[in-house]
Amino acid sequence: MKIKYLVVAPLIILYQVAFAQITERERPQIWSNLVSGARFMDRFLPMKGKVLSDGTWGAPQVKPRFVDNGIEDNIWSYWCGSIQKSDEGKYHMFVCGWLEASPKGHFEWPNSYLFDATSDNLEGPYKLNKMIGKGHNVEAFRLADGRYVLYVIGGRYVAEKIGGPWQYDKFEFDERDRKVVEDMSNLSFARREDGSYLMVNRGGGIWVSKDGLSKYGLLTEKSVYPAVDGEFEDPVIWKDHIQYHLIVNDWLGRIAYYLRSKDGVNWVVDPGEAYAPGIARHADGRSENWFKYERIKIYQDSIGRAIQANLAVVDVQKEEDFASDVHSSKQITIPLNPGLILTVLNNNPINKKTKEIRVKVHAEDGFDPNRDIDLSSLRFGASAEVNFGRGSILLGTQKEGSDLILIFDASGSGITNDEFAPKLIGKYADGKMLFGFARLPYVNYNAPILSARAPIITLEGDKWNSKINVENFGQVLSKKSDVKVIYKKDGVTLFSSWGVIQPISPYSHSEIILKSKGELLQGQEYEVTVSIVESNKIVSKFSFKSTIKD
């Protein structure tokens, strides 16, 4: 234990402060084989700022620093900020904070105020514009009808315009017979194509609302986070023109993880750190060595690519940030490498018979693919291959207007039937890292998402009826499919029932009643599994324990 002394009048009060809120997590050995561009952390670029100063608060390791990056001052301790751009071109950072002179120091955060701070530049400096109300862990997003929403712990603020006025209300949640992992204190939201919203809560559950404000329904029965030792919080989720992305932070280990998904429900974990201490660096190699990085939020470009990370940082461990001292917290902004815009030109599925993979690299402002790429450095294929320096090698190129077509040897790509976002890794002509993901033309990225509630089981004569409510949380009409219910006792299957699910419209439901002559005893607990099967493939499975009521 650290021992600290607090002097009050003639008395000396002895109190203890626990060891730092950190532990060293051992990295998997295989991570040492990752190439540049494999980790999400490789996308962090040098910070922007013009005012480099050491005449400000903070421990020596965070000075000198860009005081015009993000938001900071001597009055407020800032924590968590989310940026939206107004229709007029102004950047609004919705940020939480508490008075630095608060007696509880950093642990005044439960009493945070929510502010609107503005800037002419995405990176800052942001200056306080107005106080909106109480709140913490803010995330800002915009509805399809143009309204703005500010999520905070326990509720939300909604306004017609980005400058307010703001009306406070609460979200509604439907657990749908599932267990909520962790609490609902860290929510993050991703807008889907039709204006509906996908949401992840602190524990890694995936929820959907048809418009972002109406009730959110829980789809998953367990966390989608990596199956590793971690104290997870601060998830952030977003969608671009390719796929869904998710980052979650292990606050105790000071290491974050990066996941990707085709539908926002089923996720794959990419290897390597998403972020960790050390990412706040300057172009000249200088670093701002903040003790902790938390509450990451992502700013996206017009096609959804992540182009800036906003993070809450503190210069020392939180227990050492006291009232009216030299320590505090702020919001920093770090530019991100957005990745290239790629199009796979193969219309047929890529498999062992495929000879070549053709990938178009699209030109953008300030980027000429015919001039700015080190062609010899490129590898393309499944992330599991290219992240480790493997994958398809380049055979040749073709110029198409301002764009460039890359022709790869398909062997070694690692692309399987489950692949939804192959990856390109390499270098620009100046030696800096480049990467990009692409869609596959033959993959369906907007499929129905069928999900069942727990059956309601009743006895009718000598038959057991199972009434099952199946809902479609996808954005398109579902196909005719099947539902199967299996009843087990002590791990032994007693019987199963099958039924047909007719097509269901998005955000609608259908009730299916299954009949069975199997034996169930009232008052007994059974293990029940509900599976939804489409084209002989299980697309959803839900398991739980149920007691047959008298």
Residues 426 and 323 in one domain: no
Q: 281 has which bridge partners?
A: 287
How many other CB atoms sit within 10 Å of the CB of residue 273? 21
Per-residue pLDDT averaged across 355-361, rounded? Answer: 98
3-state secondary structure 272-303: CCCCCCCCCECCCCCECCCCEEEEEEEEECCC
Of the residues 437, 462, 477, the one at which a domain ends: 437
pLDDT digits (tens, 9 = 90+) for 249-270: 999 999 999 999 999 999 999 9
For residue 523, is pLDDT > 90? no
Its pTM stands at: 0.94
The answer to which of 41-55, 200-214, 421-435, 457-471 has the lowest mean pLDDT is: 457-471
The Cα 445–Cα 466 span in angstroms is 32
498 touches 484 (CB < 8 A):
yes
For residue 3, is pLDDT > 50? no
Per-residue pLDDT averaged across 414-438, rounded? Answer: 97
Of the residues 335, 364, 393, the one at which a domain ends: 335
54 touches 85 (CB < 8 A):
no
Residue 294 phi/psi, 5° resolution?
Answer: -140, 175
137 touches 80 (CB < 8 A):
yes
Residues 245 and 388 in one domain: no
Give the per-residue pLDDT at 508. Answer: 97
Give the per-residue pLDDT at 491. Answer: 87
Give the CB-side neighbour count of residue 51, counting CA atoms within 13 A.
Answer: 11
Give the per-residue pLDDT at 20. Answer: 55
289 touches 61 (CB < 8 A):
yes
pLDDT digits (tens, 9 = 90+) for 221-230: 999 999 999 9
The answer to which of 29-33, 241-245, 540-544 has the lowest mean pLDDT is: 540-544
For residue 204, is pLDDT > 80? yes
Residues 36 and 109 in one domain: yes
Please indicate, yes or no, if residue 539 is contained in any of the structural domains: yes
Give the per-residue pLDDT at 463. Answer: 77
Structural domain harbouring 527: 450-547
For residue 2, is pLDDT > 60? no
Of the residues 335, 367, 401, the one at which a domain ends: 335
Residues 331 and 347 in one domain: no
CATH number, domain containing residue 273: 2.115.10.20
How many other CB atoms sit within 10 Å of the CB of residue 82? 24
Residues 324 and 429 in one domain: no
Q: 128 has which bridge partners?
A: 117
**Cα–Cα distances in angstroms (integers) from residue 5 to residues 12, 16, 100, 326, 395, in the given order:** 7, 9, 21, 17, 69
DSSP assigned state of 364: B
